[in-house]
Amino acid sequence: MLIPKISGNPMNKLILTFFLASFSLASFLAAQTLKTKTDTLLFYGDVLSNASLDKHRVFAAENFNQIFREILQEGSESFEQVKDLPLLALNLPPDSSFVLYTWRLSLKNNSEFHYFGFIQSLRDEFDPIELKDHMQSGRVTEYATFTPDHWPAAFYYNMRAFELPDGEEAFLLFGINGNSRFNRIRVMDVLFRQGNQFYFGLPVFGEEGENIARTGKTRILMEYSFDAPVFLNYDHEYDLVVLNRLDRKEGIHPGQGMTGIPSGEYMGYKYDNGYWIWVPEVVRKRSIPEATPPPPPQRDRPRRDLFGRPVQN
């Protein structure tokens, strides 16, 4: 490091002291941030979630994605390095053969959203598969199947395995997509596997099982007002998928236009021999939470600093 020449002036000595202290602090923080790749992910994850400037969030998101990819390429053991990152949603099948990671980037004061994801083999059967957000293309419908390169993106909060008519295993995915300033989209998709290839969307949703394979929906999309409480998830008590019935109405916010508003009624999808059959009415016998809340924090989980290290309470 080049140190400026300082005369005996007390003010100059004060400037030198401040310069050295600032440099030492910056060096310390940089060293701590870059100590491990996981530390760096924690740092960039915090920036992309909380930075006040969008350009900082975008920069952090690009670096987070690149480093995350590098870590996954180290093999299945890398799961232990990333599984506790607070930014991520993780979903695993019953046999824990792979893990589906998703996360999101919010910009323009929660009016623009971008989604990221990977599928990682936990048995080293295939290389990490990156998911490329295709939702904003306007070409995602309820009647199409997509590859990971054209992912109908969402932040997934639940995954449930089920058996297809041919006996193969598939997975219901439940997620949310920010979509736009005024509207959100709840997503119920199907993830299925052929060898080491994964696909999104399969015609398993409909009214009659015998016709679903030809005319059924491959996913369910629920567009609704950003401030409306909407539920879409598998309900173990009812043993079916429960979701709000939405009415198309004019939004109350200037410039919002038509949007989905919960009617107060519920409908569902019941599993039957590989298909999910539409149930037009689900009578509520108890209070179903309107929104899908995040899991409560673990009481025994230690508090952590910016770099993920435990700190004293």
235 is written with which tokens?
Answer: 């309900």
Q: How far is CA 162 from CA 54, 88, 219, in A?
A: 40, 24, 15
209-266 tens-digit pLDDT:
678 988 999 999 999 999 999 999 999 999 999 999 999 999 999 999 999 999 999 9
- pLDDT confidence bin for 301, thresholds 50/70/90: very low
**Percent residues over pLDDT 70 in the chain:** 79
Task: Average the pLDDT over each of 46-55, 130-139, 190-199, 265-274 and give the range with the smallest value.
Answer: 130-139
pLDDT of the residue at 25: 42
Q: Pick the more confident residue, 24 or 123.
A: 123
pLDDT of the residue at 154: 98
pTM: 0.81
292 is written with which tokens?
Answer: 């899908």
**Mean pLDDT of all residues in the chain?**
86
- pLDDT confidence bin for 35, thresholds 50/70/90: confident
167/174 Cα distance (integer angstroms):
22
pLDDT of the residue at 145: 97
pLDDT of the residue at 211: 86
Mean pLDDT calculated for residue range 282-295: 57
Residues with Cβ within 8 Å of residue 87, at least 6 apart in sequence: 45, 48, 49, 64, 103
Q: Answer for the pair 212, 203: CB distance below 8 angstroms, yes or no.
A: yes
Among the ranges 29-43, 100-114, 273-287, which has the highest mean pLDDT value?
Answer: 100-114
55-110 tens-digit pLDDT:
999 999 999 999 999 999 999 999 999 999 999 999 999 999 999 999 999 999 99
pLDDT at 14 over 80: no
φ and ψ of 213, to 5 deg: -60, -30
pLDDT at 311 over 80: no
Task: Average the pLDDT over each of 105-119, 135-149, 197-211, 283-297 and give the range with the smallest value.
Answer: 283-297
185 is written with which tokens?
Answer: 């989209």
Rounded CA Rg of the chain: 24
pLDDT of the residue at 138: 80
pLDDT of the residue at 24: 43
Mean pLDDT calculated for residue range 290-308: 43
pLDDT of the residue at 143: 96
SS3 content of the chain, % helix, strand, coil (to 5): 25, 35, 40
pLDDT of the residue at 161: 98
pLDDT at 306 over 60: no
pLDDT at 139 over 60: yes
pLDDT of the residue at 27: 41
Identify how many contiguous H helices and E strands the chain contains and give both numbers.
Answer: 5, 14
